[in-house]
Amino acid sequence: MVERVEVAIGILVIYFVAFAVPTGIAGRIFSIHKEIIRKVYHIFGSASMILLLYVFPGWKSALISFLAIFIFAYVLILAFGGMAFFKKFRIDRKREETKIKQQILYVSLTYSVLIIAFWAIGGEENKHFILFGVLTWCFGDAFAAIFGRLYGKKYFQHRIFDQNKTHRGFKAFVISGSLVNMVLLIIYYSFPAGVNLGIAVILGVLGGMIELMSKKGLDNVLLPIGITIISFAIINAALVYW
């Protein structure tokens, strides 16, 4: 954690530029599938929560700085998104051009709710729970999209599910989500290995179910907030016994 806010903002900006520019250039040069590039952006963008939580000196500076960057990105897309130069680097899916602006709004709302609830109100001792929700969404959604869209053939048919989601994508979410939660549990807690595995799998499966049932991009709100709340409840219950 750094004491000066301007230094923290500089680190955050450098982080975004350092992954965004090389990724965009690499995608153009090597003709990498757009879905993969999209999800690389998704992973690195979502993982910026780690910087917000552990580089900024307080929740107010973290939240304001994050929102300022996202508002700037939103205005940039509105103003220049249609220009030929920017179209060369566009990675949004076909017929979904407006969704990137919608996702910026969703993520801004989600991060604001999480930071206020689990850092401003919950305090320093509870802010790490945000990572359980955000990183489950970050990696789970990314791998679900990559494996589901590129390799998935069997789609969910029941009306309660998003019928654009595949069985393979769901499995990829559960595996990747469980793994990231296992890592977080090892970092933050000293539970027995079996307890870590059980909690990680529960969070991975529940995250996959939330993602599967969320429609119209609402998984970007429901998933990180939902898993943050569930992880808070399950881990605190586990602490009573272990």
pLDDT by residue (tens digit) across 140-184? Answer: 999 999 998 888 788 998 888 888 899 999 999 999 999 999 999
User: 10 Å Cβ neighbour count for 183?
Assistant: 15
Q: Are residues 138 and 106 in the same domain?
A: no
* pLDDT score recorded for residue 90: 54
Q: Could you report the per-residue pLDDT of 92-104, keeping only the tens digit for each?
A: 555 455 567 778 8
DSSP three-state, residue 120: helix
Q: Are residues 57 and 88 in the same domain?
A: yes
What is the Cα–Cα distance from 190 to 4, expressed in whole angstroms? 33
Please give the tally of structural domains in the chain. Answer: 2
Let me know: does 169 contact 152? Beta carbons within 8 Å.
yes
Angle between helices 34-46 and 129-151 (to 10 degrees): 180
Instruction: Mention every residue, 6+ apart, whose C-beta is less than 8 A from residue 189.
Output: 196, 235, 239
Q: Are residues 148 and 108 in the same domain?
A: no
Q: Are residues 61 and 172 in the same domain?
A: no
Chain center to CA of 116: 17
Mean pLDDT calculated for residue range 19-33? 82
Q: Are residues 158 and 111 in the same domain?
A: no
Domain with 180, as residue range(s), is: 128-242
| pTM of the complete model | 0.90
CA dist list (Å): 107 to 42, 111, 122, 237: 11, 6, 20, 29
Write down which residue in 60, 95, 123 finishes a domain.
123
Q: Which amino acid is at 177?
A: G
Let me know: does 220 contact 137? Beta carbons within 8 Å.
yes
Let me know: does 224 contact 134? Beta carbons within 8 Å.
yes
More confident residue, 88 or 128: 128
Q: Which amino acid is at 11?
A: I
